Structure 1
Amino acid sequence: MIRPTDLISYLARLAFFTLAYVGTAFISLQIQGTHDGITPIWPPSGIALFALHRYGLRMWPLVAISIGYLGWQVGLPPVTVIIAAIGNIGEAVLGCLLIRRFDIHFGQRFQDVVKFLFLPVLLAPVFSATVGTFGMIIGGAGSWEQLPLMWLMWWVGNAVGILLFTPLLMGWWQQPKKWSSDSRLLEWLVVIAATLLIGWFTFQGPEANELHDHGNLQVLVMPFLLWAAIRLGLRGVTLVSLIMCGWMLWGAANTNGPFHIDNKVAMGLYESSFILVVTLTGLIVQSLFRELSLNMHRLSNAHEELEDRVRQRTADLEQTNLRLQQEIEAKELTEQALHESERGLKQAKQNAEQANGSKTRFLAAASHDLRQPLQAIIAHTGLLSARNSNPELVESIGQMDKASSAMRQLLEKLLGVSEIDAGRLITNLSVFPIDDLLVDLQGQFQQTADEKGLRLTRVPCSALLYSDPALIRVILQNLISNAIKYTEHGRILIGCRRRGDVLRICVCDTGIGIAQEGQQAIFEEFIQLDNPARDRRLGSGFGLATVERVADLLSHPLHVQSVTGKGSCFAIDVPLSKTQQQVNTGEPDSNPATDSSPAASLLLIDDDEIVLHATNLMLEAQGYRVTAALDSAAAFAALATMAHPDVIISDYRLPGSFSGINLITELRTRADRLIPAIILTGDITLREDENLPETCMLVQKPVSPAELKRVISRLLEGSG
């Protein structure tokens, strides 16, 4: 509820500003009479903007009342008066909102002057000029031919009125009204008197017109304008500008001064420009010196505060120094012992870092050289298994195959952990369907599970994930492998469950389970809680360590739930794709490694003669027609003499200028056909989603005969 005192105050302000608006409007209309209807300045715009900014938007009726009264006095049509009132109210409201939105403070900062000029001064009058001129035309007070000139002079007059009168009222209404000292009062009197004399001499003097033919006398006010800006602040600047504006308009009304010419439009624009230049110059200089004085004041205060702090700190230090003198001897002994201890710790840390770095560098550098002979071993073992007809050797060959597979798995895990520790493992995030990966993993481990009499079950899922599919495969491979190793009967379940914006992928088993106190230790290297005798058939202890490192690298939370004697459930949360599109993956093929045509021809390239020979024999034993080449030249020669191969299998690192990828591209160009290809390499720095040509797959050495056959079959099926 509005209190009576508030209502009285509001009505009093409304009446005061309405009278000011109407009074200055009548003066401006008198100026129009001497300018053939041109108004170089419209003070009511500045008064209205000040009133709304100072006392709130509820002061808008003063504009409506004033415009209504002026329209009645002048005899304008009612529709013109209504539209003009809307335009002027909108101008004041828009200017007020711009001042508040852009935090404009009058007389404080240079940036405030710039914002005030371009927003309330130049932008707000666009609304009133546009609405008002159309109102004049609609009401019959103007014609369409006069529209551009009417709009321009309306906009200019309102803009100049806001530029001069809003800061004038802000300065004299808000700032302190008392004089700071007698000397400052004297400065005020000098500036006011000089401005009055210069204005009279420039615009009213008897010889003014004659003297203006020899120079611009109006510039004589500039020194006093700058004096007011530097010494007297916002009030001084706006007062000097107001005095010069009054003299200029008075002189123009009496046909005196530099701006009196026969072209009234040009004369009005000259007068508006003069007011704008004088006022804007004063406001800019005043704001700059205001900022300078504030900064100097802050600097002075900071300097004094710093001196006080220095004095206080000096006294504190003197007292502290006295106390320290008594403690120095005891502390010297303590510090000496501490330094010796720190040196020992630093040396131990350096030794440990060097040892760990050496291990990491060795494992990373040895990757390719370790994989090459291991590939030859696996290839020969597969060849022996295929060609053996002696029942007595079946078990020995089987043991050799298991040993080489175990060695390959251990090498993969060692090198994987080494890559992560060295910080060289780079994630490649992409959108991919999880079910495709689960189908592949089920096919990969199905035979192993069948051999132990376990049921390996996959629950289909149509979700799309956003992660690194290769690293997700590493995590799930290790979890499924562990589940099969530690489950003697029952089943392994692979399934997914949505949880908000992530998908929780679970690998659950009915194995031996993990005690609560051991659920954290299992993620450390070489830790196998149920394998104290280090039975190598149960792995090396690197699987879960790799899982934890890769999950941390991807920032995917890892979860473990286990009950001793009943089984375990490992899960990882992977972000869902933002698109949330669904894909129909269907049921996986029960036999993903469909046999390829035994008549398929292969071009095999490897610079290691032992590996080349072993792989050649292995592929021939599987029924392929193989042409082997040690380098690029031999490969080109083979391509020229043989029919086009069905698949190219090449090592990545080759002698000469060709890499495996470049060689495959060149062979395809010479054959003029997109031949399916495989990069068979031991280089762990090469990733499947980098630099590979179209219809080319990456296979890391060592690879088993069955796995290599499966990849060849997939390529042949795709090309068919």
Structure 2
Amino acid sequence: MAAVLVTRPVRLPLEPVLKALAVAACYYVAGRLGLLGRVVVEGVVVTPIWPPTGVAVAALLVYGVRVWPGIALGSLLVIASLTTPQIGTLLTVAGNTIGPLCAMWLLRRVGFRLDISRLRDGLALVFGGLGAMLVSSTAGVGLQVLTGGLQTGEFWSVWLAWWVGDAMGVLLVTPVLLVLVGAAGRLRRAGWTEMVCLALAVVILLPMAALSRMSLLFLVFPLLIWAALRFQLAGSMVCALVASVLTTFAANTQRGAFEHLSAVEVMVKLQAFNGATALTALLLSAMVAEQRATRRSVQNACNELAEVLEHLAAGEAPPDASASHAVDAIADDRPRPAPGSRPHR
């Protein structure tokens, strides 16, 4: 009898491949947009805000580790759009991939929530982004030193600009993307009238603050506070991102508060402003979300307790087991007489 060999077609997992390609495309588009605000520090192209790092971290948090090839491919495509890739380019690609992976690992280790509804989530994103981006900046600038494209004495200035740009991408872009995919908070507890008023204030005041010669950058912070208090993460981070983009444009064209400043002064002032803007929007919105969640929990507990007391006053059993447990917990908290003591009349 002839043996019959049954073969099954090998099917590649299509969904992870499509997700990785989508991440690569988003990374490349974000990179091209980020390069519009590029500056040259010691002959090396850097950006005050590098959006691809925010795209990479958000993609890893939402879709998992399986999309890391998309980050590597997107990084390679961005580099190829600037110069001819070489063997040393692989080190830069590896750094741009490992940095977001380290950020994801750090955030998951501390129990980071995608909705950024707690202050600890905001702090975790800050420290995770700042710490993990040390990998990508060190790999990228170290490659320039090893290949002779950068002198050893110029390492720290370029490294600082690279690191801050990557970190600002995480702090400004990642929360906005988490909002867009529905993982983070949405617009709540505010009507359309207030939303339109805030949008008009942003459209009018932010260009004035960024481009005015009177150095009115401080006008940004009342808008950030308003957006964080009323619209939480969705409003404050979008406002912060718009402010940082306009300020970066003003810095690159040396307009407004950046007029007549040296290149070093422009970078220091711009990075300080972007950092303060991102931290204010992120941490304040996380704190507001946490307080509102606590208030809702207390209100729900009070409503359940009131329902239990109504049933007990009517001589009925509590409506559910949770209510009975609540009554038992309240009874357990009542003071008991000491052993041997007489009860008070």
What TM bracket, shorter-length normalisation? 0.7 to 0.9
Contact 1:67 1:81 in 2 (8 A): no
Query: Percent of aligned pairs with the same residue?
Result: 24
TM-score normalised to the size of structure 1? 0.40
Distance 2:186 2:109 in 1: 31
* The one of 11, 22, 25 aligned to 1:16: 22
Deviations 1:43-73 (A, max 9, x none): 1111111111111111111222122222222
Output the aligned Cα RMSD: 2.7
SS in 2 for 1:152: helix
SS in 1 for 2:315: helix
SS in 2 for 1:107: coil
- Does residue 114 of structure 1 match 2:123? yes
Distance 1:94 1:178 in 2: 27
Distance 1:51 1:161 in 2: 13
Match of 2:144?
136
Distance 1:138 1:295 in 2: 53
**Cα 1:144–1:233 shift into 2, 3 Å:** same
Match of 1:314?
313
- Does residue 56 of structure 1 match 2:55? no
Query: How far apart are 1:293 and its partner, in Å?
Result: 1.1
Distance 2:24 2:70 in 1: 5
> Amino acid of the residue matched to residue 25 of structure 1?
G
> Amino acid of the residue matched to residue 141 of structure 1?
G
Distance 2:64 2:194 in 1: 35
Distance 2:175 2:9 in 1: 31
Query: How far apart are 1:306 and its partner, in Å?
Result: 0.9
Deviations 1:390-430 (A, max 9, x none): xxxxxxxxxxxxxxxxxxxxxxxxxxxxxxxxxxxxxxxxx
Match of 1:577?
none
Contact 1:109 1:287 in 2 (8 A): yes
Query: How far apart are 1:79 and its partner, in Å?
Result: 2.9
5 Å matches for 1:312-461? 312-316=311-315
* The one of 210, 230, 237 aligned to 1:203: 210
Query: How far apart are 1:84 and its partner, in Å?
Result: 0.4
Query: How far apart are 1:15 and its partner, in Å?
Result: 2.7
5 Å matches for 1:176-191? 184-191=191-198
Runs (5+) with no aligned partner, structure 1: 319-342, 344-720
Query: How far apart are 1:262 and its partner, in Å?
Result: 3.6
SS in 2 for 1:123: helix
Query: How far apart are 1:276 and its partner, in Å?
Result: 1.6
**Cα 1:14–1:2 shift into 2, 3 Å:** farther
Distance 1:64 1:175 in 2: 24
Contact 2:119 2:286 in 1 (8 A): yes
**Cα 1:54–1:277 shift into 2, 3 Å:** same
Contact 1:230 1:286 in 2 (8 A): yes
Match of 1:242?
241
- Does residue 162 of structure 1 match 2:170? yes
Match of 1:296?
295
5 Å matches for 1:633-712? none
SS in 2 for 1:122: helix
* The one of 26, 31, 40 aligned to 2:37: 31
SS in 1 for 2:201: helix
Distance 1:253 1:178 in 2: 33
Query: How far apart are 1:124 and its partner, in Å?
Result: 0.1
- Does residue 89 of structure 1 match 2:93? no
4+ residue segments displaced more than 4 Å: 1-4, 33-36, 175-181
5 Å matches for 1:142-153? 142-153=150-161
Query: How far apart are 1:252 and its partner, in Å?
Result: 2.2
SS in 2 for 1:78: coil
Query: How far apart are 1:145 and its partner, in Å?
Result: 2.0
Distance 1:157 1:275 in 2: 10
TM-score normalised to the size of structure 2? 0.81
Distance 2:33 2:283 in 1: 28
| Deviation larger for 9-18 or 32-41 | 32-41
Contact 1:241 1:278 in 2 (8 A): yes
Contact 1:248 1:271 in 2 (8 A): yes
| Deviation larger for 33-42 or 138-147 | 33-42
Deviations 1:72-97 (A, max 9, x none): 22225513311101111110110011
Query: How far apart are 1:244 and its partner, in Å?
Result: 0.5
Distance 1:245 1:317 in 2: 60
> Amino acid of the residue matched to residue 283 of structure 1?
L
Match of 1:354?
none
> Amino acid of the residue matched to residue 100 of structure 2?
A
5 Å matches for 1:508-587? none
Going by fraction, where is helix more abundant, 1 or 2? 2
Contact 1:40 1:269 in 2 (8 A): no
> Amino acid of the residue matched to residue 92 of structure 1?
P
Contact 1:49 1:92 in 2 (8 A): yes
**Cα 1:8–1:121 shift into 2, 3 Å:** same
Query: How far apart are 1:127 and its partner, in Å?
Result: 1.0
Query: How far apart are 1:33 and its partner, in Å?
Result: 4.2
* The one of 99, 103, 114 aligned to 2:107: 99
Distance 1:290 1:70 in 2: 36
Match of 1:74?
82
Match of 2:220?
221
> Amino acid of the residue matched to residue 148 of structure 2?
G
**Cα 1:177–1:237 shift into 2, 3 Å:** closer
Contact 2:30 2:52 in 1 (8 A): yes
Contact 1:109 1:290 in 2 (8 A): yes
**Cα 1:255–1:7 shift into 2, 3 Å:** same
> Amino acid of the residue matched to residue 123 of structure 2?
V
Distance 1:122 1:160 in 2: 9
Deviations 1:665-710 (A, max 9, x none): xxxxxxxxxxxxxxxxxxxxxxxxxxxxxxxxxxxxxxxxxxxxxx
> Amino acid of the residue matched to residue 159 of structure 1?
A
> Amino acid of the residue matched to residue 132 of structure 1?
G
**Cα 1:299–1:3 shift into 2, 3 Å:** farther
**Cα 1:62–1:179 shift into 2, 3 Å:** same
> Amino acid of the residue matched to residue 242 of structure 2?
I
Distance 1:76 1:144 in 2: 24
> Amino acid of the residue matched to residue 63 of structure 2?
Y
**Cα 1:82–1:260 shift into 2, 3 Å:** farther
**Cα 1:59–1:225 shift into 2, 3 Å:** same
- Answer with 1 or 2: which has the greater Rg: 1
Contact 1:80 1:138 in 2 (8 A): no
Match of 1:385?
none
Query: How far apart are 1:34 and its partner, in Å?
Result: 7.1
Distance 2:36 2:161 in 1: 16
Match of 2:336?
none
